[in-house]
Amino acid sequence: MGALDVLANWSSYLPTIKKPKQKLTLYRRLAWTGIILVIYLIMANIPLYGVPTQALTSTISLQNIIFASSAGTLMQLGIGPIVTSGLILEVLAGAKIIDIDLSNPDDQLKFTGAMKTLAVILAVVESVVVMLSGELFPVGFSASLLVKVLIVIQLTFASFLVILMDEALQKGWGLGSAISLFILAGVAQTVIWDMFGFIPHIAMDFGVIPAIIIDKNLLVFARPNGFPDLTGLLSTFAIIILLVYLNGMRVEIPVTSSRLRGIRSRIPLQFIYVTNIPILLLAILVADLQLFETPIERFLGAGSIVYKGYADLVYYLSPPNGIISASINPLKTVIFAITWLILSILFGYLWVEVAGLNPSSQAEQLISGGMEIPGMRRNPKILESVLSRYIYPLTVLSSLIVGAIAIVAAIFGSFGTGAGILLAVGIIYQYYSMISYERALEAYPLIRRIMGEK
């Protein structure tokens, strides 16, 4: 029995959410989705017991966006344990270190169970690391052992609630996943705050709209220290429009159906074939590195060679915070851009292989569906070679595009970070598609029967 089987078996001992006995209506699923979102927002504003108010901060980083976390609150870890466990297992599956076929329902169930168990383990580990790192306490503050234990319990319990909320959405009580929903909520909050936020009596700590109104002499096109500026606002709108346009582009492959007397059709492949997955995986990696920087500094010391190397890695991988930050250190900006482009391609290729989007998997699906390419023999290998001419170039090109968009957005200081905006637009598009699909099924019962929906 391998490690994956052990983790999957352990998940049976954890509390779980059962599927509804019958499929809920769209409006009930939307209602449950809204309830779960409200619970998350409440948890993100409940301070941890035993943590001084000085630990609460309004600073927004890539880690906060990707993990939907809120410092000093029950959402200190956010969705970090879930996304990190998923990233670890997907990388292991992509590297063939663990033998699993995600197109097989039994293997999918095993993978989901293992990810849940690993997420709980990571929640405990990350809670202990965060508590021991001292980042929740101001300098000179000494917490009792009881308070430290209570903090670990609170963070672990909150993380497990997030796991259950994600499970509830994915099992049919709501729409989408908690990961997507909470990331979208975090990005939306950040964008609104960067546009309209205002804290009286604190110099420059307000959004771009109040900046224009309050201080007419302020150079709002470029503000220092990462404060939101007009350049960031304009780039945010420009990138959203570009992403909406790219999401609508398709590359079509001509096919015929042997079951329907050779009727010709076309299979549309998304131009952004990898969607936002490469940036999501890359952002998770960088956010995890940021998460452990403070604990490593505390345990090894700021003068340690290991810490200095780790800090340099985090520094060069972390996106700049606006155009002023990017121009102050051009070497860092160049290294960041090149590294993100390379990693975007690697993660894009990894995702295509793991998710069954590679040419061989797509060829098998087409053959099993009775489809073939005109003028060619109905052979999986031949079909795979033809699809390879489309899929792999699309994978590389779309990975480069989403990577470049995230980089440009970070350099120009787009609100919600470049990766956040990229993910948010993709998530909104997914929710729009899901809601449209569900409405069509409810409006036309015949379609539901054709699709095999109960």
What backbone phi and psi angles, to 5 degrees, belong to 310? -65, -45
What pTM was computed for the model? 0.81
Average model confidence (pLDDT) across the chain = 81
Query: In the block, which residue shows the tokens 């995230």?
Result: 406
The sign of the dihedral angle between the CA atoms of 83, 419, 209, 71 is: positive
Cα→Cα distances 350→46, 71, 118, 301, 373, Å: 38, 32, 21, 36, 27
Q: Would you write out the chain's pLDDT as a tens digit for each of its 454 residues?
A: 577 788 888 888 888 888 888 888 888 999 999 999 999 999 988 888 888 765 455 555 677 888 888 888 899 888 889 988 888 887 787 667 777 776 677 778 888 888 999 999 999 998 988 887 777 776 666 778 888 899 999 999 999 999 999 999 988 899 888 888 998 998 888 888 888 877 665 555 567 787 777 766 555 677 666 677 788 888 889 998 988 888 877 777 666 555 545 555 566 677 777 888 888 888 888 888 887 887 888 778 777 888 888 989 989 998 888 888 888 889 999 999 999 999 999 988 888 887 777 777 777 776 666 656 655 556 667 777 777 887 888 888 889 999 999 999 888 888 888 788 888 888 898 888 888 888 877 776 666 665 556 5
pLDDT of amino acid 225? 67
pLDDT of amino acid 261? 53
pLDDT of amino acid 168? 92
Q: Domain residue spans in the chain? A: 1-196, 229-453
pLDDT of amino acid 122? 93
Q: Terminus-to-terminus CA distance in the chain, angstroms?
A: 36
Q: What is the pLDDT of residues 231-258, one digit of tens each?
A: 888 888 999 898 888 887 777 766 655 5
pLDDT of amino acid 139? 62
pLDDT of amino acid 320? 87
pLDDT of amino acid 370? 62
pLDDT of amino acid 32? 93
Cα→Cα distances 90→86, 111, 317, 374, 376, Å: 6, 9, 21, 36, 35
Q: What HEC string does the chain produce? A: CCHHHHHHHHHHHCCCCCCCCCCCCHHHHHHHHHHHHHHHHHHCCCECCCCCHHHCCCCCCHHHHHCCCCCCECCCCCCHHHHHHHHHHHHHHHCCCCCCCCCCHHHHHHHHHHHHHHHHHHHHHHHHHHHHHCCCCCCCCCCCHHHHHHHHHHHHHHHHHHHHHHHHHHHHHCCCCHHHHHHHHHHHHHHHHHHHCECCCCCCCECHHHHHHHCCCCCCCCCHHHCCCHHHHHHHHHHHHHHHHHHCCEEEEEEEECCCCCEEEEEEEECCCCCCHHHHHHHHHHHHHHHCHHHHHHHHCCCCHHHHHHHHHHHHHCCCCCHHHHHHCHHHHHHHHHHHHHHHHHHHHHHHHHCCCCHHHHHHHHHHCCEECCCCCCCHHHHHHHHHHHHHHHHHHHHHHHHHHHHHHHHCCCCCCHHHHHHHHHHHHHHHHHHHHHHHHHHCHHHHHHHCCC
Q: What is the pLDDT of residues 341-361, one digit of tens each?
A: 999 999 888 888 877 777 777
pLDDT of amino acid 12? 85
CATH of 1-196, one of 3.40.1280.10, 1.10.3370.10, 3.90.180.10, 3.40.710.10: 1.10.3370.10
Q: What is the pLDDT of residues 70-119, one digit of tens each?
A: 888 899 888 889 988 888 887 787 667 777 776 677 778 888 888 999 99
Candidates 74, 143, 86; CA nearest to 112 is 86
CATH topology of domain 229-453: Preprotein translocase SecY subunit (1.10.3370)
Question: Do 229-453 and 1-196 fall under one CATH topology?
Answer: yes
